[in-house]
Structure 1
Amino acid sequence: MLCILLPWLLVIFYANGSMIDDFVAMTNDVSSPREDYLALPVEIGTDRKSGCICRATKSQKIIVCFGNYVCRRFPKVMKQSDALKVRTTVIERILKGDLDEFSFLTVLEIDANHKLTYIEPGTFRNLTKLQHLSISYNTALRAIDEHIFEGLGNLRNLTLVNNGFDNVLHLTVAMRPSILPMLKALDLSENSLELINEDSFAPMEGTSLRKLDINLCSLCYIHPNSFLPLKKLKELYIGDNELNSTLIGNFLMNMMNESINLTYLDLSGLGFRRQPPKELLHVIAQTSIKKLNLAHNQFESINDDTFPRMVNIELLDLRRVQAIYVGPYAFDPSKFPNLKALFLGGNNLPGIHQKHLSTQLLLLDLSNNKGTHATVFYEIDRDTFVQSTKLRILNLAYNKIKSIFDYTFRGLEKLKLLNLENGTIFFIGEGTFKSTKQLEVLNLANNPLTANQNLTCAQFEGLNYLRIFILKNCGVKRFNDDDNLFEMMPNLTHLILRNNQLFYITAETLKPLKNLQVLDLSENLLISWWRPLFLASGVKPQQLLLTNNKISHFSISMIEDISYLLEESNSSTEIDLMDNVFVCDCSAMYKTYLWLEVNGSIILKKYFESSNFLCSSPDLWEDRRVAEYLTSVKSLNCLMYAKISNVMVIVWTAPSLVTIVLILLIGILLYKYRVYIRYWIFLGKIAIGRKFIRRSVKADDVEQKGYKYDAFISYCFEDRDFVLDMITYLETYPPYLKLCVSERDFEIGSFLSEAILSSINESKYVVLLISNNFAKSQWCRWETQLAEYHRLFLEDGTSYDPLVLVRLGHVEKKYLTPTLKYLLKTKIYLSWDENNSEEFWKKLRNAFGKKI
């Protein structure tokens, strides 16, 4: 909610130096937006006489009546309120007596009634308490009587925006000081007032008017003497018109000569291009104007000589002027010695660089700067703010700031508010906020903070005075209790964690927040918690927002926490649980009901009785109040359900426990006798191979089958020299044999396992060169296993045996697998004898078949 109010609050500026104090005071209640921005939940009903439909806020201080084509007369509302708003009706005339019953009103708005053409004089005669009157957006209302406002002796603000008026004099004659002696603010914006003549404001001679707004009126001429009757005028808004700088300079000079001391001048949207008119700026520099608004013009380059010396200027608004460059001395103290607030938001500045800032500033707004087409991220130079020791408010929202470091905000020792919302910040360096020791408000909403890191204490060190911390929509999934960042913020009063991905939050996380008043956890993924949070942490926020989470029922810990928060000392505490997924059945709500009946305090029971959070299931109770279900528990036979549930727990639990014990015992036995089991499996494979998977492959068939290789050589890399000798003796002397050797014959890029399988199948014989290194190699063990399966697969009782064993030297028994042990014990193998090599090679040839 602070995210919504911040842009509005940032424009507040007080020339007397109390800007920061007033701003901080206004942020104290950021969790509760103004009532007129809220929905209108209270239905007052339809007024029979007028046909208008009326609704009100919870406190019924504001009543709104509307009706489109039904509401034809001014409504008669019997309930008293502070404000009445009559909108979007088809009322054509408002007559004397229609408002006599509303003497209690302080605010009256008659807006957007497109058929309203006439308001009879004397209509407001009884509204002696009225302070604010708006008659706006009634486009058919083209004139008002000079006696229309009689009776409004306490009226301070009069708004006549966007009606059908085209002559100022026809309006001001009704605003004579004798009729409106207390009038302070007049808004005539968005009317067709093309000219303001010399006598336009003459009827208001002697008025106490301080603020005049005539923006967006298509004005093309203002007489130099037109504002002279308004002796007490302080604020003048003439933006978005068609006035030239000479006209403006003329009436400003005349006003200055007549001692009309303006303090605020709005020149926004007047079409000034390239740079502000220098002659007009020189005139303004001579006046008493302290706040100058030049927004919505076009000054792409703000150079060092753009502005003359302007001693009185305390606020300068240059938002959305399409600036892409600011000179290093454009706002130097020598030109603006009293400048305290500078607004440069909504421009195309690529970042903040040294000497672009005025050292005497209290408020700096650089939000929403998109940069040029070539700008990727918004840059903040190292130590840019070193000399900005007086700065209290810094707004950097809506900028593409990628990361912030310990040097980014160095020098901002007196900073009170830092707004970094809606950026692209994904990295916060350690000690980033160490320099901002007096910071009270930190807004980091809508940044991907947790994209590649967890939030830690080191990042937020130095925030001992922080009171408002906003982490809305930052992707936060959890907080680390061992490195609790909130230990750095002992004075925190408002913690906004809305719209993150929190499944839970712990008491340890909350413990440091003893001064917490508002905790917003809305729009997360929180479920019912099983351990007390607030009772265990000792934290008592006055406002706890848990709307739109995944809470399905009330655990005992939740009820204890709610009871703790609603103690008599905290009678104003608000706990919002709307839009959760409450399951209204016996299993979810029976224990809640029992606890409330036995242990619930009067305050706790009243909270549940008056609550409006709804059931989401089952279908019978969908969209009905949880409180209604709790009062119906007695008649829903939940006691019998509870007894049956206890029996079913025993029935389901006992077999499950027995099954788990048996599985554990079997697992222990399997692990203990795993060696024997492997050997038994090995023997079983051999038996199965001999009895069940034999193929009727006769010796003749083997002879007839075309093999690519005579033999596949399975060997260890360390024995490759012996393999080279084998290639020499078997492939170069008759009878010539074709051997498959992995280093030579495997296709480059193929998978090794697939190549081995393919080569074994394409070879008539498989030769295993068994050595100590062979027995230790995992790949050779695997090839041995494949060769044995290959032999079993072809075994059919004939003399053909594709497996040939060659033993190279001594092989240690500890490296022999069960398969190798079995093969060496059951098959005749050749042993390499270096002293009788000719005989060895002869026997090896014979092993490949005497027919060769």
Structure 2
Amino acid sequence: MLQKNLQSPYRSNADIRYLSLARCNLERVPPVFDQRDTNGRPLRQTVEYLTLYGNNFKDISAPGVQYDIMLNATDVVETHLEYAKFGEKSIWSTGFQYTTFAVLREFDLRACSIEFINGLIFKGMPNLEALYLGENNIKYIHGKAFVGLNNLIHLDLSRNKAYDKNGGLTSVTMESADLFERMSKLRSLDLSFTEMGRNVRVLSGLGKEFQRLSLCGSKVRSVPEKALSGTSMKYLDISGNYGILENSNILAGLEDTLEILYANEVGFEHFHYLYKFSKLEVLKLTNNEVMLITKRVVASLTSLKVLDLERNRFGSWIPPIFSTMPNLRFLSLKDNNLNLISAEIIDDIANISYVSLSGNNVVCNCHSREFIDLAARNDNEQKQTLIDLSIHTDNNTLKAIDYHIAESEFNSMIELRANISTICDTEKCKKYYVDRDHRFLIIDYDIHSYVCFHEYKNRFMSFINVKTCKDWQRSLEKVRNLDTSTNLVLLLTLPTTLLLLLLIIFIYRRKFGYFFVTMRNSATLSLISRTDINEEGKIYNYDVFVSYCNGDRNWMLDHLLPHLETECSVSVCLHERDFQVGLSILENIVSCMDRSRTIMLVISKQFLRSQWCQFEMHLAQHRLLETRREDLILVLLEEIPRSLRPTTLHYLMLTKTYIVWPKVSSEQTVFWKRLKKSLVVQQRKYKNTTLA
């Protein structure tokens, strides 16, 4: 059929430059290149562009093939013997392997199910400039596979899915580390979505003319140190290789050449990798971990025009940052951690042509509204222009080398953006912002994307519904200029309220005083250790600890002490006699109470006016509750009216039987009998002997 078409009298006499055998269900390349056209010239001498796209050149395993590991002689690297044997027996390429193509410039072998690339199969294509081997199943490439391609400029090995003998995905095996070294004119290499594994060592063989590399999605964690430093790299895509920057310095040596860098989803955190990349024009870092941008680094990016930081962790910054990059025209901070838009931030992005701040958790303020209004005003007054990147056009090279997706990607966003000039009244915007020389436009405005959280209203609202800064100022002026009647009400209300408060404090001064004393004592008691709790069988030093005030000292020494120690044979602990010198008063009180069987409180009006006495009363109650003891005796030297009783005393008087000192001498005998009986009962409760 091909020969018939070549010899057809209806075909022109022009040479056949384009030959397509795409999707012909071929299982091997047919040997048709010696067939001649009407001029008598064979195809191998005229064809410049040849495509075999979409055929099925899958090699079939020969019976009895053994699987093993060998070391090849050209480079110490593990090679599967399976691949070496298949390489020798691979027959899909026999139709052109021994044919010389005099003028062939481009050869398309994409999507042909190719598994093995033999050595020297392209040696008859000395003028080939572009070789497309993408979308295959290449699992092995011979160390001399590309020998003879001395003029090759672009090599496509993208989207290859290699499968092992068990059907699992595996990385392609490249036999030699110097696979690309012989191609001195190679300028472009596409390895995107082809699992490289340890084969990244071949990158060290890229030459001085090399400019363009894509490792997107190649599962590369690291590359050899300064592997690309000997190239003239302009376009580099390392997206999808998480940790590649942390584990290797792949950017080393590219400071003076790199123009476009795509590094999405690589775990990028720190901008110090990009210091002094003075020719970098496009930087795409989406889906990374950027939190901070240092002024020192961005100031060195003097040629940067596009900065895409979408879906990072970048928050509100302290300007100037972006204004230090004189050529920046496109900035995306979409879906970051920006929580505040300030006047300084707006000034920092004033001269950037296109910005995106959507998807951030912004707190509403008047500057968020100002950001929208300024962009709407600019949409009304200026025309959008596309971004012009410094892509170097060389008529003698392939278009694929000159083209990069970056320019069309970001310019498409600009062309599709919505004009928002109608959301702000033109005259109002001009009047409000007449003195603001900001020229930015919003790339992705949507009323549902540009929302902020209003703290006072406790809900989210659109930027455009927030008050303008001038409205905020007017509201503040209204507050400052309250009318005279309102001020008079405030002036009258505040003194009246204050007087009422003072009156309440005066009336209930005793209760307030007692409250503060109680709080202080409670705080002190909370510091006391609870480890010294009375246990059964404890030895006591005293029978009774007596708490009294200094005003009742005479009664204590003249009446109580002689009666207890002489007539009742009771050992008494008194603070002025038995407190240990050198310890704090608090420590002595606690210690003496714990070493006494019974606590006796001698209550009088003077006792209640003493802060130390009140503290001892609180402590007595606290310790008794803590140790679950009932050993407390209340002695009232006089009747205490209810109005004078603190809460603690009132509670004790309600829960304890107390005894009152009689003023009539004839009744004092009964008093002493009752008191002695109470002490004797307490002594009998404990079998231990007093040590005092």
With structure 1 as the length reference, what TM-score do the two structures score?
0.44
Q: Is the 8 A contact 2:359 2:449 kept in 1?
A: no
Distance in 1 separating the partners of 2:582 and 2:7? 114
| 1:279 CA drift (Å) | 1.9
The alpha-carbon distance between structure 1 residues 174 and 192, as it changes in their structure 2 partners (threshold 3 A), is farther
Distance in 2 separating the partners of 1:519 and 1:536? 29
Q: Secondary structure at the match of 1:236?
A: strand
Give the partner amino acid of 2:31. E
Q: Secondary structure at the match of 1:421?
A: coil
Distance in 2 separating the partners of 1:678 and 1:508? 54
The alpha-carbon distance between structure 1 residues 196 and 331, as it changes in their structure 2 partners (threshold 3 A), is same
Distance in 1 separating the partners of 2:624 and 2:56? 89
| 1:266 CA drift (Å) | 0.9
Distance in 1 separating the partners of 2:547 and 2:33? 112
Give the partner amino acid of 2:157. L
Q: Secondary structure at the match of 1:479?
A: coil
Q: 1:12-31 maps to which residues of 2 (within 5 A)?
A: none
Q: Secondary structure at the match of 2:146?
A: helix
Match in the other structure for 1:5: none
Distance in 2 separating the partners of 1:847 and 1:508? 89
The alpha-carbon distance between structure 1 residues 326 and 721, as it changes in their structure 2 partners (threshold 3 A), is same
1:397 and 2:264 aligned: yes
The alpha-carbon distance between structure 1 residues 363 and 511, as it changes in their structure 2 partners (threshold 3 A), is same
Distance in 1 separating the partners of 2:173 and 2:600? 83
Q: Secondary structure at the match of 1:331?
A: helix
Match in the other structure for 1:588: none
Q: Is the 8 A contact 2:97 2:124 kept in 1?
A: no
Match in the other structure for 1:238: 109
Q: Is the 8 A contact 1:204 1:229 kept in 2?
A: no
Higher relative contact order (CA 8 A, sep 6+): 2
Distance in 2 separating the partners of 1:422 and 1:442? 13
Give the partner amino acid of 1:479. I
Compare CA radii of gyration and give the structure with the larger one.
2
The alpha-carbon distance between structure 1 residues 732 and 282, as it changes in their structure 2 partners (threshold 3 A), is closer
Residue 198 of structure 1, aligned match among 19, 31, 47: 31
Q: Secondary structure at the match of 1:408?
A: helix
Q: Is the 8 A contact 2:374 2:438 kept in 1?
A: yes
Match in the other structure for 1:315: 188
Residue 473 of structure 1, aligned match among 324, 335, 348: 335
Distance in 1 separating the partners of 2:115 and 2:174? 21
Distance in 1 separating the partners of 2:626 and 2:34? 106
Match in the other structure for 2:352: 492
Q: Is the 8 A contact 1:281 1:308 kept in 2?
A: no
Q: Is the 8 A contact 1:449 1:474 kept in 2?
A: yes
| 1:797 CA drift (Å) | 13
Residue 681 of structure 1, aligned match among 500, 503, 508: 508
| 1:273 CA drift (Å) | 3.6
1:338 and 2:209 aligned: yes
Give the partner amino acid of 2:328. L
Give the partner amino acid of 2:207. F
Residue 158 of structure 2, aligned match among 295, 301, 307: 295
| 1:311 CA drift (Å) | 1.2
Distance in 1 separating the partners of 2:3 and 2:644? 107
Q: Is the 8 A contact 1:393 1:417 kept in 2?
A: yes
Match in the other structure for 1:427: 292
1:356 and 2:356 aligned: no
Distance in 2 separating the partners of 1:732 and 1:725? 10
Residue 308 of structure 2, aligned match among 432, 437, 443: 443
Unaligned runs of 5+ in 2: 59-91, 161-170, 385-413, 452-460, 466-483, 515-535, 537-542, 549-574, 576-580, 602-618, 635-642, 661-671, 680-692
- Percent identity over the alignment? 16
The alpha-carbon distance between structure 1 residues 755 and 279, as it changes in their structure 2 partners (threshold 3 A), is farther
Distance in 1 separating the partners of 2:340 and 2:506? 51
Over residues 778-797 of structure 1, what are the superposed CA-to-partner deviations in whole Å (9 max), with x where a residue is unaligned?
Answer: xxxxxxx9992233456679
Give the partner amino acid of 2:180. F
Q: 1:96-115 maps to which residues of 2 (within 5 A)?
A: none
With structure 2 as the length reference, what TM-score do the two structures score?
0.52
1:549 and 2:444 aligned: no
Give the partner amino acid of 1:670. T
The alpha-carbon distance between structure 1 residues 538 and 485, as it changes in their structure 2 partners (threshold 3 A), is closer
Q: Secondary structure at the match of 1:337?
A: coil
1:277 and 2:142 aligned: yes
The alpha-carbon distance between structure 1 residues 191 and 380, as it changes in their structure 2 partners (threshold 3 A), is same
Match in the other structure for 1:600: none
Distance in 1 separating the partners of 2:49 and 2:5? 14
The alpha-carbon distance between structure 1 residues 848 and 175, as it changes in their structure 2 partners (threshold 3 A), is farther
The alpha-carbon distance between structure 1 residues 729 and 685, as it changes in their structure 2 partners (threshold 3 A), is closer
Over residues 232-260 of structure 1, what are the superposed CA-to-partner deviations in whole Å (9 max), with x where a residue is unaligned?
Answer: 7533220332447677944x44444xxxx
Match in the other structure for 1:464: 326
Over residues 630-666 of structure 1, what are the superposed CA-to-partner deviations in whole Å (9 max), with x where a residue is unaligned?
Answer: xxxxxxxxxxxxxxxxxxxxxxxxxxx9999868854
Give the partner amino acid of 1:320. F
| 1:414 CA drift (Å) | 0.9
Q: Secondary structure at the match of 1:218?
A: coil
Distance in 2 separating the partners of 1:712 and 1:759? 20
Q: Secondary structure at the match of 1:418?
A: strand
Residue 279 of structure 2, aligned match among 400, 403, 414: 414
Unaligned runs of 5+ in 1: 1-167, 372-376, 553-578, 584-656, 688-707, 740-751, 768-784, 803-844
Give the partner amino acid of 2:352. L
The alpha-carbon distance between structure 1 residues 234 and 534, as it changes in their structure 2 partners (threshold 3 A), is farther
Match in the other structure for 2:436: 537
Distance in 1 separating the partners of 2:247 and 2:123? 41
| 1:277 CA drift (Å) | 1.7
Distance in 2 separating the partners of 1:528 and 1:846? 98
Q: Is the 8 A contact 1:193 1:217 kept in 2?
A: yes
| 1:439 CA drift (Å) | 0.9
1:788 and 2:615 aligned: no
The alpha-carbon distance between structure 1 residues 229 and 299, as it changes in their structure 2 partners (threshold 3 A), is closer
The alpha-carbon distance between structure 1 residues 542 and 759, as it changes in their structure 2 partners (threshold 3 A), is closer
